[in-house]
Structure 1
């Protein structure tokens, strides 16, 4: 039987583009870029360029300066770090298909408008030359959906500068400053909020304002790096505005001792969970398990006490309890120590453990 290759139909180039778009492995994308000239821009478009050394910055500058350059218009993900890369920031306007941008450790920057951005991360001391330049940049990100704010600052603050309306899917904040908080609260809309402020008990009034500003829009809330003081403070916070909150994630309050193989729960965790559940419609609860802890856990409780709480009102609406074990080596021990005790009597809930 012979195969008539000349009768095999040619697939549309758009179909190849859609297929390549689902590839995430860098080696696969590089192979696709070598197949033919038509596949090259599709493969390039999914590659992430990360620049952190002076050599790679120089190479990128040379490429961008080339009249025949097509690289910038096909890149979708870009990570820039260290002060050396500031020299190429003015060229970012040529990255017309850029979807995600991560900037780390930059000083006195002034960024062009990037309307194609859907993900923006400003982390680890990103400093703008003025409040005006920071707000002007955000004004140009009209399609932004996910915003991560690390330590962002600026000189020459102008109280008259207004922040554009932000309609986000998620906002992650790893620090807070009063002048930034005030502007964010005035125009912010997001369904997901993550706060990682360390000693959150000292910023309880700011957290309260965010919850009331977001109101019924908020569906997912995550607290990161909570200690007992933070858990206790949040147990007295007013969550009545978050009537549509269905997902709560708490990083802090559950500990696993690798030496003894025993898990324990902070006595401050239950009041926080009860407070949130009374005012919201929680459906999923995510608890992060810590194994590096500096506090004395002598007075902490066994996980079974938490299981007893979750079997009562107002937790009947929760259908999934997820235990996320961060940096846990003894995964099976955690599962045996925590999940077994939580599942006892929780017939209407599913307890999941992941890494």
Structure 2
């Protein structure tokens, strides 16, 4: 039998005849699985050979690592495990699902545009909740450019330089300074004459040139000159606070200083919140007579007024503006040595024009000679805070509260909590609502007709 034969054009002796399509398909279906099995067997042999070597290398690596590097070793192991095993499996799973979804009849495809991003407003709300944690805000400012304005605004919301005004000016003039665009509040404290005022003016001018949006300012000390500089560079302040310490040597000088505070306050047309604290040294129990206040007017947009001193002429001047007075917040806090000078009728005359707008009230309650302070006309009150030096005198004022919108009532007193509780049980009979009391307002009094007293 010959080993070789002549090819006469007969293809029946071939392994896979081209005329038989079934044989070709059978070859393809047999060759592909067999090749995959061969590849897997080869990978298994290689893995079995190299696994002991890899394990030994890993043990030597861990043994040679210091304690500091061993803390970060699991991170590298997790990364390589994800890159070498989990990520390929995830890609196979995603490709398989996308392939199956094409053959499903009821499959729905959701086309999400690539430019679709998370709303910036939600990012700002979340970042605002991070205040005052500075480390978190610093991290947020380095993550994304869109987060920088909100993060830096909270980071530089309060910058205190003290006496180092020169360093502050140098920092503001630096091209890398990130304070100027985000500063909102300025606190000026000056207890000497023109020494530091010039440096303060340089700082304020630098802030103004950088288009800073200063809306709040506080002036502390024995000089009112910083108010003029503020008026020059930031005429659109919304919050202004004075904490002035008058020497009290001459009554006329003290009265002139008080008038200057009112004059400087009236120059800020956009002012909404005003706080005045006038501490007079020496004989501070005497009321300073004020004159020539007719030309000074309150800002038309004033909504919050805080007074931490008693002056009858000053309150009468406020009462003259009752036609345009629309306060939402009123605070009057004075020391106990002003007890004999308090006038409940004068306070009522100021509060009555604001009966439909006033929502927050903070008052010092005394036993006035001309009767108790009646608040029944304030029908929109939400929050009430009383500083009480004589607890029995506060019952009448508490009983006069007639607002159905009250959310919180707090009575702050210097007496001990046990003594205060005994006073309330004795003098607060007839009060039908609960309120907080104590030195910090952390205890709650509930009348006997409602329940018993308990801690918040």
TM-score bin (small chain): 0.5 to 0.7
Contact 2:190 2:221 (8 Å CA) reproduced: yes
The change in CA–CA distance for 1:244 and 1:107 in structure 2 (over 3 A counts) is same
Q: Report what 1:32 is aligned to.
A: 140
Q: Report what 2:449 is aligned to.
A: 345
Q: Report what 2:296 is aligned to.
A: 162
Give the CA deviation at 1:43: 1.9
Q: Whole-Å Cα distance in 1 between the matches of residues 371 and 179 of structure 2?
A: 51
Could you tell me which of 359, 364, 369 is aligned with 1:219?
359
Q: Whole-Å Cα distance in 2 between the matches of residues 251 and 75 of structure 1?
A: 34
Q: Report what 1:193 is aligned to.
A: 330
Q: Whole-Å Cα distance in 2 between the matches of residues 289 and 11 of structure 1?
A: 46
- Larger relative contact order (Cα-Cα within 8 Å, sequence gap ≥ 6): 1
Stretches of structure 2 that go unaligned for 5 or more consecutive residues are 1-89, 95-112, 247-253, 281-289
Q: Report what 2:239 is aligned to.
A: 119
- Identify the structure with the greater helix proportion: 2
Equivalent residue runs for 1:108-147 within 5 Å:
108-109=224-225, 110=228, 111-112=230-231, 114=234, 117-125=237-245, 135=263, 138-142=266-270, 144-147=271-274
Q: Whole-Å Cα distance in 1 between the matches of residues 428 and 292 of structure 2?
A: 51
Q: Secondary structure at the match of 2:318?
A: helix
Q: Deviations over 1:45-71 (max 9, x none)?
A: 12333425222x222211333467552
Q: Whole-Å Cα distance in 2 between the matches of residues 139 and 34 of structure 1?
A: 41
Q: Whole-Å Cα distance in 2 between the matches of residues 195 and 132 of structure 1?
A: 20
Q: Report what 1:309 is aligned to.
A: 430
TM-score for both structures, normalised by structure 2: 0.54
Q: Deviations over 1:292-332 (max 9, x none)?
A: 57xxx79x954334553113xxxxxx5xx33143348xx7x
Q: Whole-Å Cα distance in 2 between the matches of residues 134 and 303 of structure 1?
A: 40
Q: Report what 2:438 is aligned to.
A: 325
Equivalent residue runs for 1:48-63 within 5 Å:
48-51=157-160, 53-55=162-164, 57-63=165-171
Q: Whole-Å Cα distance in 2 between the matches of residues 30 and 244 of structure 1?
A: 42
Give the CA deviation at 1:171: 1.9
Give the CA deviation at 1:194: 1.2
TM-score for both structures, normalised by structure 1: 0.67
Q: Deviations over 1:162-191 (max 9, x none)?
A: 324343443221014355434433253202
Give the CA deviation at 1:270: 2.0
Could you tell me which of 301, 305, 309 is aligned with 1:171?
305
Give the CA deviation at 1:250: 1.6
The change in CA–CA distance for 1:201 and 1:346 in structure 2 (over 3 A counts) is farther
Give the CA deviation at 1:195: 0.6
Contact 2:333 2:387 (8 Å CA) reproduced: no
Q: Whole-Å Cα distance in 2 between the matches of residues 194 and 133 of structure 1?
A: 18
Q: Whole-Å Cα distance in 1 between the matches of residues 312 and 159 of structure 2?
A: 32
The number of residue pairs the alignment matches comes to 307
The change in CA–CA distance for 1:343 and 1:207 in structure 2 (over 3 A counts) is closer
Give the CA deviation at 1:207: 1.9
The change in CA–CA distance for 1:210 and 1:102 in structure 2 (over 3 A counts) is same
**Larger CA Rg, structure 1 vs 2:** 2
Q: Secondary structure at the match of 1:32?
A: helix
Say yes or no: does 1:252 pair with 2:364.
no
Say yes or no: does 1:98 pair with 2:98.
no
The change in CA–CA distance for 1:105 and 1:234 in structure 2 (over 3 A counts) is farther
Could you tell me which of 231, 246, 269 is aligned with 2:367?
231
The change in CA–CA distance for 1:118 and 1:9 in structure 2 (over 3 A counts) is same
Q: Whole-Å Cα distance in 1 between the matches of residues 436 and 394 of structure 2?
A: 14
Q: Report what 2:187 is aligned to.
A: 79
Give the CA deviation at 1:130: 9.2
Stretches of structure 1 that go unaligned for 5 or more consecutive residues are 255-265, 312-317
The change in CA–CA distance for 1:211 and 1:346 in structure 2 (over 3 A counts) is same
The change in CA–CA distance for 1:241 and 1:93 in structure 2 (over 3 A counts) is farther
Could you tell me which of 257, 267, 275 is aligned with 1:148?
275
The change in CA–CA distance for 1:70 and 1:140 in structure 2 (over 3 A counts) is farther
